[in-house]
Structure 1
Amino acid sequence: MNLIAIVRSILRRTQDNGHSIDEFLAHFEGRFTAIARYQGVMSQGRGRSVDLEEIVRDELVTSQCLDTGRCAIAGPPCYICDDSIEVVALAVHELATNAVKYGALSQSRGILQVGWTRGKDGALHFAWSEGGVSMVAGAQQVRGFGRHYVEEGLAYQLGATTAFTYRPGGILCEMHLPAPCFRIAPWVAEQDDAAD
């Protein structure tokens, strides 16, 4: 993964959205910070990984929206590996930012459920599900940097598949990450294998 290419893409796409200078700086800083947060891990060499739950919680805390009454996070111990860390962290950042601005975390009755499992296909199945939201007409047509990055950036950079589903009460984003991008804790993997 080429960090300079990621930053250049963030800069270009943030600029393309026609924000004021203040809006541009806020968007760019948030995105840059999301990937920079894990540079310390990356600089320690290959074979490093970060807990997926930690990534999700960090982004929700940074967005000041980790409300345990409204946010549920569940999944087996899972670690995002090496070059995939920055890519996944930025995707989660975009989902959290959109939830705070337009989705479940922008409305008092909104709820957020984030979960993941390892599928029989060996991929990590990640679901970001928002509910209790009054959807704005035409919301599914809006395709800003965040949605573009999740849909196309993850496919290009990680070989992931993603899908957004707009429902009456909110949005569901599903991401399927191929096995080289993550590892499940050994004791969980052994239980999964025994159950198959």
Structure 2
Amino acid sequence: MNADDIWNSLSDFPAPDGLLSEGGMMGDAIRHHDWAATSLGPMATWPLSLKNALRMMLTSRQPMSLFWGRDLIMLYNDGYAPFLAERHGRALGQPFQTIWSDVWQELVPLVAETLSGRGTGGEDIRLMMLRDGVEVETFWTFSYTPVHDDHGRIAGLINITTETTSHVRSQAAAAAIIEDTQRQLEHTMQLERQRRIVQREMAHRIKNILSMTMAVVSQSMRHATSIEDAQETITHRIGALAKAQDILTDTEFRDANVRSIIEQVLKPHQDHSGRTRLDGRDVKVSAQQALGLSLAMHELATNAVKYGALSNENGTISVRWEEGADNTFRLEWQEAGGPPVVPPSRKGFGSRLTGRIVGGYFNGAGDIDYHPQGVRYVLTGTIERLADELNPS
């Protein structure tokens, strides 16, 4: 069947009875409206171009409105009526600007361009619209098309439209869900990366603790003068390691606070106020450095109890530390008030520990000076932090 066949099949249908016989609810409303009270005048005087545009609009299933004349008098079909909401009862025959006063200023550029002869419109255009007296956000997809009078002059415009508020909100909600899901996924991936890093770090730390424990045992045995001496030394040194482990456990094996490490070691020796003085801001070091620093402090405190400032009631210990630029670190242990210091005749494991071993943990050096008025120990190096690895910038 071609187009001519279609036309021929319609030849037996009678012509519509009057202009608005098939216009539905709005066809009846337009037919009974008092048009003489508007700038359009009685329907009998309407130009053929207006009648044809009106017939096309009323028989369309697409929501449409027609604005005609200098006042842009409004007419619309059944599909468009729901968009008007509470304006529906008073919109017919009123000027565009009167009915849509709340959005008129936003639509003026589009209306002006259409009346100049160029069709306009857009998709999901945002309009803040009054509904039941409340301003609400709405979205519309529409096109404005110029319509001409019997003389070919532009006499108004026809608006083919649909409200997309629900669609836009659904899209926004879906986008928010996707964004939130993506955020959660990234967070989960970050946690997984951190878990793997911590797992590797824990394995490394455990190996390091075991190696340090083995070194403590073997070196203490080698430098001990008796089994009893070795047993006592090993017990104290492994006890120092255990206390350091307590600090690391509290921080989930991340960074340990220098002050906490020193306080833990010196706490048993606080027999009166002023016995020890600590001076330094909060500085955190890695787990491995915390273990080394704890052992160094333990060795110095043990020697102070045996031979130095903690061997009498008047001696004092001052520990100062600071973090400099580029994560540099400096710690100074100074004893005073103890018996005259006599340098050891030989260097044992304790000296190697506080010097080369702990200094190596800080990529620096540990130097001890046996000054007659009090032992002085200086540790310099660079701070490492696990948190820097877990949270790269």
**Normalising TM by the smaller chain, what interval?**
0.7 to 0.9
- Does the residue aligned with 1:116 lie in a helix, a strand or coil? strand
**CA-CA distance at 1:7 after TM superposition:** 0.9
Whole-angstrom CA distance in 1 between matches of 2:367 and 2:277: 21
Confirm or deny that 1:130 pairs with 2:343.
no
Question: Conserved in 2, the CA contact under 8 Å of 1:34 and 1:89?
Answer: yes
Note if contact 2:243-2:264 (Cα within 8 Å) is conserved in structure 1.
Answer: no
Distance in 2 (alpha carbons) for counterparts of 1:44 and 1:168: 39
Distance 1:67 1:47, change over 3 A: same
Corresponding residue to 2:378 among 162, 168, 174: 174
In the alignment, is the contact (CA less than 8 A) between 1:51 and 1:78 conserved in 2?
A: yes
Q: Which of the two has higher C-alpha Rg?
A: 2
Give the conservation status (yes or no) of the 8 Å contact 1:42–1:83: no
> Given the two structures, how large is their TM-score scaled by the length of structure 1?
0.80
For residues 137-152 of structure 1, what are the structure 2 equivalents within 5 Å? 137=342, 139-152=343-356
The one-letter code sitting in structure 2 at the alignment partner of 1:172 is: R
The partner residue of 1:51 within 257, 261, 267 is: 257
Offset, 1:23: 2.1
Counterparts in 2 of 1:182 and 1:134: CA distance versus 1, 3 Å = farther
Which of 3, 15, 19 is equivalent to 2:221? 15
For CA contacts below 8 A with separation 6 or more, give which structure has more relative contact order. Answer: 1
SS in 1 for 2:384: helix
SS at match of 2:273: coil
Task: Give how far 1:21 is off.
Answer: 2.3
Give deviations 1:123-152, integer Å, cap 9, x for gaps: 111000001233244x15442222110111
Counterpart of 2:234 in structure 1 is: 28
Alpha-carbon spacing, 1:169–1:159, altered in 2? closer, same or farther (3 Å): same
Aligned residue-pair number: 181
- What residue number does 2:185 align with? none
**Pick aligned residue for 1:71 from 266, 270, 276:** 276
**Structural mapping, 1:107-122, within 5 Å:** 107-120=312-325, 122=327
CA distance in 1 between partners of 2:272 and 2:260 (Å): 15
Tell me the TM-score normalised to structure 2 length: 0.42
Distance 1:56 1:168, change over 3 A: same
Give every structure 1 segment of 4 or more consecutive aligned residues whose post-TM-superposition deviation is greater than 4 Å.
40-47
Match of 1:90, SS state, is helix
1:39 aligns with 2:239: no
Gaps of 5+ in 2: 1-204, 388-393
Q: How far apart, in 1, do the equivalents of 2:326 and 2:346 lie?
A: 32
Contact 1:65 1:105 (8 Å CA) reproduced: no
User: Percent identity over the alignment?
Assistant: 24
**Separation in 1, partners of 2:261, 2:304:** 16
Q: Contact 1:109–1:133 (CA<8 Å) still a contact in 2?
A: yes
Encode CA deviations 1:28-64: one digit per residue, 9 max, x unaligned.
11111111223355568976122211111111124x3
Structure 1 residue 168: deviation in Å?
2.7
**In 2, Cα distance between equivalents of 1:129 and 1:178:** 21
Whether the aligned pair in 2 keeps the contact of 1:57 and 1:66 (CA below 8 Å) is no
| 2:341–2:375 CA contact under 8 A, matched in 1 | no
> Residues 112 and 38 from structure 1, CA distance in 2 versus in 1: closer, same or farther, beyond 3 angstroms?
closer
Deviation at 1:73, TM superposition (A): 0.8
What SS class does the counterpart of residue 314 from structure 2 fall into?
A: coil
Give the 3 Å change call, closer, same or farther, for CA 147–66 of structure 1 in structure 2: farther
1:35/1:86 contact within 8 Å kept: yes
